[in-house]
Amino acid sequence: MAEAAIEIRDLVKEYAGSGDEPPKLALKGVSFDVPEGSVFGLLGPNGAGKSTLINIMAGLVNKTGGQVKIWGHDIDTDHRNAKLNIGIVPQEIVFDPFFTPFEVLENQGGFYGISKALRRSEELLKAVRLADKRNAYARTLSGGMKRRLLIAKAMVHSPPILVLDEPTAGVDVELRKQLWDLVNDLNAEGVTVVLTTHYLEEAEELCEQIAIINHGELIANKPTRELVGMMGEKIVAVTVDADIGDLPSDPRFHKCEKVGDRVMEITFDKGETTAGQVLAQVQEQGFVIDDVSTREADLEDVFVQLTSQDDAQQ
């Protein structure tokens, strides 16, 4: 087992209510470790508690209870060293638009007390592929470039842990792939990366382990492959030769839904039946099949199932 880069134990955050509103528990005793050297996914619906957790690690929000250690340093008793060992890339783009990328990094280095001789501004600009924009005003950068500059800004003090809060929000597919490459490069150099994202294919592609938070509680924390493997389901898409009226039914079908005039998707458990038996049942009920495709359940299916189960129990 790898050492823990981040240790979170029984973390609680309660926000005081305003007026007649009762207090709100944003985090309800969350506990997990982030393994050193990993790319770790932190997922959850809006309002689940992810941002609160990140803001506690960043020192921007005071926790109500529990313990957080960053690189072995308690955020309460050893706040300075805890902060030196983590870099946070926020969702919001925050830097002076009239500074150049080089000046943004130099100023950030100064905030951390790094002498000019030891600053890595040029090196970081090359790493995030912004060396050619060294002297451009930050306000002239594209959205993707600004995201990459935020990553460089978070790395000026060479922290061993980098937290990326929705780093690809609002960027196009090409820029998203560039940011994925950058995350992989940083991780290959030994940086532990914590990633929050709404793009589940992004988490499935990048993360070795994923924790899912819902309503302030941890509802899953497993290696990505194991998490996806929790779903024994398979989906078969069937195209038939005429518009679909009544859908076929069978006790072995977990779900059967119409997704086009002549296309239905049937979800079934691989341990209970096979795709061949599903198709035979469709044909027995009078449908003439023109085309078939199948896919395994993915992280999106797991996420939907886990959060919907959790919502039902609330």
Q: What's the pLDDT at 117?
A: 92
The structure tokens listed for 143 are 């959205």
Q: What is the DSSP string of 65-109?
A: EEEEEETTEETTTSHHHHHHTEEEE-SS--S-TTS-HHHHHHHHH
- Cα–Cα distance between 162 and 36 in angstroms, integer? 11
pLDDT for 14 equals 95
What is the block-wise mean pLDDT of the chain (314 residues), using blocks of 10 residues?
A: 87 88 92 96 90 92 96 95 94 84 95 93 92 93 88 94 87 81 92 90 91 92 86 88 95 93 93 92 96 84 78 67
pLDDT at 244: 95
What are the beta bridge partners of residue 217?
214
Q: Return d(Cα 197, Cα 264) in angstroms, integer.
A: 30
Residues listed for the chain: 314
* CA pair distance 136, 140, nearest whole angstrom: 7
For residue 304, the model assigns a pLDDT of 81
**Which of left, alpha, beta for 215 (phi over 0: left; psi -120 to 50: alpha)?**
left
E strand or H helix at 31: strand 24-35
Q: Does the reported pTM lie above 0.85?
A: no
Half-sphere exposure of residue 172: CA atoms within 13 angstroms, side-chain side? 4
Where b means 16+ CB within 10 Å and e means fewer, 258-286 reads eeeebbbbbbbeeeebebeebbebbeeee
- Nearest C-alpha neighbor of 232 from the set 297, 293, 294, 295: 297
